[in-house]
Amino acid sequence: MTQLMKAARSGTKDGLEKTKIAVMRKVTFLHRKEAPGDSEEEDMGFLEVVVSDMKHPPPELGPMPDGLSPQQVVRRHILGSIVQSETSYVDSLKRILQDYRHPLMEMEPKALSARKCQVVFFRLKEILHCHSMFQIALFSRVAEWDATEKIGDLFVASFSKSMVLDVYSDYVNNFTNAMSVIKKACLTKPMFLEFLKKRQMASPDRVTLYGLMVKPIQRFPQFILLLQDMLKNTPKGHPDRLSLQLALTELETLAEKLNEQKRVADQMAEIQQLTRSVSDRSSLNKLLNSGQHHLLLCETLTETVYGDRGQLIKSKERRVFLLNDMLVCANINFKGQLEISSLVPLGPKYVVKWNAALPQVQVVEAGQENSPYDKDNVVLQNAGAKKHVSSSQSSNKVYLGPPRLFQELQDLQKDLAVVEQITLLISTLHGTYQNLNMTVAQDWCLALQRMMRVKEEEIHSANKCRLRLLLPGKTDKSGRPISFMVVFITPNPLSKISWVNRLHLAKIGLREENQPGWRCPDEDKKSKAPFWCPILACRIPAFSSNALDLQLGAVVHNPVQSSLLGFSAVSTSLPQGYLWVGGGQEGAGGQVEIFSLNRSVPRTVKSFPVASQVLCMEYVPEKGQEEPEQEKAEDSRSAADQPPAPHPTVCLGLQDGSILLYGSVDTGTQCLLTCRSPGRQPVLCLKHSPEYLFAGLQNGTLAAYARNNGGLWDLEAPPTCLEVGTGPVRTLLTLDDTVWASCANQVTVLDAATLQAQQTFEAHPEEEASVTHMTKAGSGVWMAFSSGSSILLFHTETLEHLQEINIATRTTFVLPGQKNVRVTSLLICQGLLWVGTDQGIIVLLPVPRLEGIPKITGKGMVSLNGHCGPVEFLAVAVSTLAPDVLKNDKEEEGGQEERPDGPSPEPSALDKPPAREMRKKGILLQYRLHSTSHLPGQLLSVKEAPPASGGTALEHSEEDGTIYEMADDPDVWVRSRPCARDAHRKEISSVAIISGGRGYRNFNPGSKLPACSETDSTLLIWQVPLML
């Protein structure tokens, strides 16, 4: 205890935490003191703070001074919102204590015991103390606002204290427990239930106790939104700007930690609820209680049963749990008094229906062909509806979806083959006929092709909210295993995408290299990585030619949207597009390898040599657009007819000073331009801005190539050359309006438009430590150097040095004793800073995602999968799912006639009459032609030809035979067209991280995988769960 008090007086959080752990291992009674409700001494260490209205009157902004800028006016309004929001929050905290806690503690007879009161209201007094102190400081800032206009530093000072995180962590971790105590008391003690009802009715806003108690969990996200607004209206150079960015970082870090703790607490509560529903003697109970299982996803889905003709027979809600190695489905039973559900959320009781090991669960899409499973033994089994699917009936094609859609698609395919034969016959006609010629025949073919596309879209739509799972069942009489199919309806397409993606990644996570894949350096030596960590999806040779000893140079991702991918393929494949990998042999030729990522394992699609070793690459999207067009796959058909300017390009920088410009893969990968750098200096790095292509050269020169009229870089004209220094320009970074170029240990900041040097600053005190890598996030830039194991953080606006991290302290957890570590690659992606080292180890460090300062905010993780040599590069591949993927069937059917009322959730395509009935009415076949009257030749008809002026070109006569869909709106068939109401919808990003280096190495000492296998250049590809 003396040690504990000494550490507390010293004031260091880390020392205090270590001493707590050390003492608690020896002194068992300390455990009991930490638990809520066991002692009245839980408030020790916190001072009672009462904000008196006499001493601290509520703040009021003085009259608005004259001559304020619009931004200053907005900042005053935002400050008013902050004060109002904080006052309301503090009042809510006081209400919980005054209206609920104090009366319950004093009540006789007790409606809730003193111990249970401590559990329910655990840490609320301390949270009120923290915010009362903050409120006092906030009031003083408001009083002097017009003189100082500073508030960011107040947030940093108030919410960077470990005490704030501690009390909020305790509250969040206890929240689920507190709610269960309230729920149980409501069910067992009528007096307590009556007390809650009366308090709610007496309150002016009728907010329940639950509504008040959830406010601390929502507080920091509210602060973040207010500070983001304040930062947007704070100009660069303002004294409050850096403080606001740091405040945003502190609050985001705090909110992230609390969110993670809340998520873990919720998951534990879900698993406990599930465990209670399983018999104590069952094997599932033992598995759930083993502590080896964590919850990845759980959601209420609707299980559906269909008849032979695709009609809905029955449906029922199920709770589906995805654990790290199994899938569990349970019935939901809401039992008990539903009247209390308005006061506190009621958790359901579960009855487990089935569970299956993840490797045996398969997602099957409607329209899936050549399925890997045994089609002779599939039972479509749903609550009594069984149907054996025989491979002889299905002709080696398993269509597990609305059967009529596939039949109609096959009919159209047969009809197209017939019409193509008719077209060949028409081409042999000797006469010229107005409505029977090659123009009309080609129009028929195009019309049928369009109808097939419509049908494929309807099949695609049928898949959007249908999750079809093939599960292992019992064996039949002959001993053969029988699988059964379960069909779930998800609440929306986002949910379907999430389930398919998480199922896919959970299976990959069970491979040996991912068991475990990461190690978390922690005081208690825990190596369990969080559920969201990237998963090693595959490792592949970087070059298809093994004969040459090729070194890796650079990699870029060329994103391309493919409309041909199925719904599940989008959810499980790597980000869409192509991966360009460049390298070669020093002093010899170079090589470029292009991989297609539209699958779960990349495949080489093209490989070609270049004159010299590839040192760097840069992907340049279309001018004026950050992302390629979503209709890229369709646009590429006419690419040959268009000028090359609008298409994305890939730039290569070579050892011999060449700069090569290639068209993207979907335009044939042709070399569009080539040039030599000034003095034929090796091109070490390439970056682009909207106006220029920048090349960093070996001799310290920065060459800037401007765009020509066609939109491509003008490589023939001499570039603008800027002398950055005497050493090589190793790395470049383009920001919003500046370009950073490194030379030796210095970085020069240039204006991106005028190319004038604005400032040069020293990034490292040692001259021999050259800046080798720079990566930006938020308002900061992380840098790595040619010597030493440290990485440094600089502010993008003031160029101030903000943080230094020694990577060697992280890598010693994997390779003890190795202190001489050098950073060889850097990458920031989705709140994680990836650091590659010369030992082949990859370190992950958490950084904030918002526009604050990207400070390292945690201990991070070390990958147990790496390379045998230096990590030559780290790159990110990102693709955004097309907006049409997110639409519900209802949204898509907005322009079509409404569906008939009924319980069936089937898409409208199933409610349409069958194809044969439509044929009886007659489908008019047309693609571009609305009439044949303008075509040469006589009209081929048994009736007399109508007079020439007898109608406009858009009218349809019986003889036309050229109109094919009886739809009022000709654009109805374009189902994937984005509509205005989807503009606000959140994007879904598919992300993969690629590392390149010599060979593959597994750093897990207990693994059976080879410690260091091949030495050829290898790519490791990590997949990140879809960000929804």
User: What is the mean predicted confidence (pLDDT) over 226-234?
Assistant: 91
Q: How confident is the model at residue 686 (pLDDT cuts 50, 70, 90)?
A: very high
Position 546 scores a pLDDT of 66
pLDDT in tens, 610-653: 999 999 999 988 765 544 333 333 333 333 333 444 578 899 99
Position 334 scores a pLDDT of 64
Position 707 scores a pLDDT of 83
Position 554 scores a pLDDT of 92
Position 836 scores a pLDDT of 93
Position 345 scores a pLDDT of 63
The residue that leads in pLDDT, 804 or 29, is 804
Q: How confident is the model at residue 817 (pLDDT cuts 50, 70, 90)?
A: low
pLDDT in tens, 198-222: 888 888 888 888 889 999 988 999 9
pLDDT in tens, 75-130: 889 998 999 999 999 999 999 999 999 998 888 888 888 898 899 999 999 999 99
Report whether pLDDT(270) > 50.
Answer: yes
The set of residues, in sequence order, having a beta carbon less than 8 Å from that of 649 and lying 6+ positions away, is 619, 620, 661, 662, 663, 664, 672, 712
Position 885 scores a pLDDT of 59
Amino acid 41 reads E
Alpha carbons 1004 and 516: distance in angstroms, whole number: 8
Q: How confident is the model at residue 526 (pLDDT cuts 50, 70, 90)?
A: very low
The string of DSSP letters for 358-386 reads: GGG-EE--TT-BS-SS-GGGEE--BTTB-
Encode 908-946: b = buried (16+ Cβ within 10 Å), e = exposed. bbbebeebeeeeeeeeebbbebbbbbebeeebeeeeeee
In this structure, what is the dihedral angle of CA atoms 720, 725, 731, 734, given to the nearest 10 degrees? -50
The least confident of 120-129, 724-733, 924-933 is 924-933
Amino acid 937 reads G
Q: Look over the chain and give the mean of its residue pLDDT values, rounded to a whole number.
A: 76
User: What is the mean predicted confidence (pLDDT) over 494-508?
Assistant: 88
- Read off φ and ψ for residue 759, nearest 5 degrees: -165, 150
Position 482 scores a pLDDT of 80
Q: How confident is the model at residue 403 (pLDDT cuts 50, 70, 90)?
A: low
Cβ distance 960 to 931 under 8 Å?
A: yes
The residue that leads in pLDDT, 682 or 570, is 682
Q: How confident is the model at residue 667 (pLDDT cuts 50, 70, 90)?
A: low
User: What is the mean predicted confidence (pLDDT) over 769-775?
Assistant: 92
On the 0-12 / 13-18 / 19+ scale of CB atoms within 10 A, 983 is exposed
pLDDT in tens, 410-458: 888 899 899 999 999 988 988 888 888 888 888 888 888 888 888 877 7
Position 516 scores a pLDDT of 84
Report whether pLDDT(12) > 70.
Answer: no
Position 685 scores a pLDDT of 93
**Helix, strand, coil fractions of the chain, as percent rounded to 5:** 35, 25, 40
Alpha carbons 269 and 284: distance in angstroms, whole number: 17
User: What is the mean predicted confidence (pLDDT) over 721-750?
Assistant: 91
Position 959 scores a pLDDT of 30
Report whether pLDDT(731) > 90.
Answer: yes
User: What is the mean predicted confidence (pLDDT) over 755-768?
Assistant: 89
The residue that leads in pLDDT, 985 or 966, is 985
Position 49 scores a pLDDT of 53
Count the Cβ atoms, other than its own, within 10 Å of residue 298.
Answer: 18
User: What is the mean predicted confidence (pLDDT) over 10-37?
Assistant: 43
Report whether pLDDT(779) > 80.
Answer: yes
Alpha carbons 251 and 56: distance in angstroms, whole number: 26
% of the chain with per-residue pLDDT over 70: 71
pLDDT in tens, 977-990: 333 333 334 567 78
The least confident of 336-345, 591-600, 933-942, 1016-1025 is 336-345
What is each CA distance from 196 to 90, 122, 181, 200, in whole angstroms? 21, 18, 13, 6
Count the Cβ atoms, other than its own, within 10 Å of residue 852.
Answer: 26
Residue 759 pairs in a beta bridge with 749
Q: How confident is the model at residue 382 (pLDDT cuts 50, 70, 90)?
A: very low
Count the Cβ atoms, other than its own, within 10 Å of residue 576.
Answer: 27
